Amino acid sequence: MRTSTHYLRKFVLEWVYNKFERGFKMFAFLKNLFKKKDEVPRVQVTGFRDGLLSFRSDLALSLHEQFVEAPTPVGNIKTKLDIQSYDPSNKEYLAKVADNDKTLESLDIDLSKMARVQKVLRVSSRDLPAYMGLTEEIALSGIRLSTSEPLEIGQLLELTIEFDCHKIGTRKVKGRVEWSAHKGDGTCHSGLRFHDLDSVTFRKLAQYIQARRTMD
């Protein structure tokens, strides 16, 4: 009788222990699972190009709005980025940041000093996929151009930009591709630097950007 009681007690203790162990493992699993979901990915800012913040991440990030943590001269800062695209050639993500975001201030990036404006204009060229593209942003130094396919880095393109202002009209320019990245909607965008921009076009472009910035 004593032996039967002993084995019964041992069985009950082992059963309770196993239940407790499985419960503990499940708790630890759920804890780690939710911890990973709540973790803010750490990124390394690499620069600012054509109105977009460029950065690298050890984790694969989705192309949508999310919080990230970035080291700055004043310490780590958590900020919300609207991740636009991924540049596989440089292994960099490109994201929009609000002009009043403190991250830009911490990184010594002053958008107010950059002559640029976000504007959608039609661009045509025999060198472009489907012979056309749309500007996302225009600056005195170049444009950020949206196309159906990526552009070849280093390529010099002859472009015709159709401005929505009769004083400028249609302008022919040359632009060299500095980077190209894939967007989340299946299209691409690229940064082009103006090449040998004539003084008349430069002056008209400066007037256009200033006028549009005032309107915005």
Q: What mean pLDDT comes out for the span 187-206?
A: 89
- Per-residue pLDDT tens for 58-101? 989 989 898 888 876 666 778 888 999 999 888 999 998 765 55
What is the pLDDT of the chain when averaged over all its residues? 80
124 vs 122: CA distance, rounded Å: 7
Dihedral angle of Cα 110, 113, 115, 120, to the nearest 10 degrees: 30
Cβ atoms of residues 171 and 177 within 8 Å: no
SS3 of residue 214 by DSSP? helix
Q: With a cut of 80, say whether residue 103 has pLDDT above it.
A: no
173 vs 167: CA distance, rounded Å: 17
* Predicted local confidence at residue 198, as pLDDT: 86
Q: What is the pTM of this model?
A: 0.62
Show the tokens assigned to 72: 């700055």
Show the tokens assigned to 68: 């990230």
* Predicted local confidence at residue 167, as pLDDT: 84
Q: What mean pLDDT comes out for the span 15-32?
A: 53
- Per-residue pLDDT tens for 133-181? 999 999 888 999 999 999 999 999 999 999 998 888 899 999 999 999 9
Q: With a cut of 90, say whether residue 106 has pLDDT above it.
A: no
* Predicted local confidence at residue 35, as pLDDT: 44
- Using alpha carbons, list the distances in angstroms from residue 101 to 33, 111, 171, 178: 31, 10, 34, 26
Cβ atoms of residues 6 and 13 within 8 Å: no
152 vs 172: CA distance, rounded Å: 20
Show the tokens assigned to 40: 């803010």
pLDDT > 90: percent of the chain: 37
14 vs 37: CA distance, rounded Å: 35
* Predicted local confidence at residue 186, as pLDDT: 92
* Predicted local confidence at residue 181, as pLDDT: 94
Q: With a cut of 70, say whether residue 119 has pLDDT above it.
A: yes
* Predicted local confidence at residue 178, as pLDDT: 93
199 vs 201: CA distance, rounded Å: 6
Cβ atoms of residues 163 and 206 within 8 Å: no
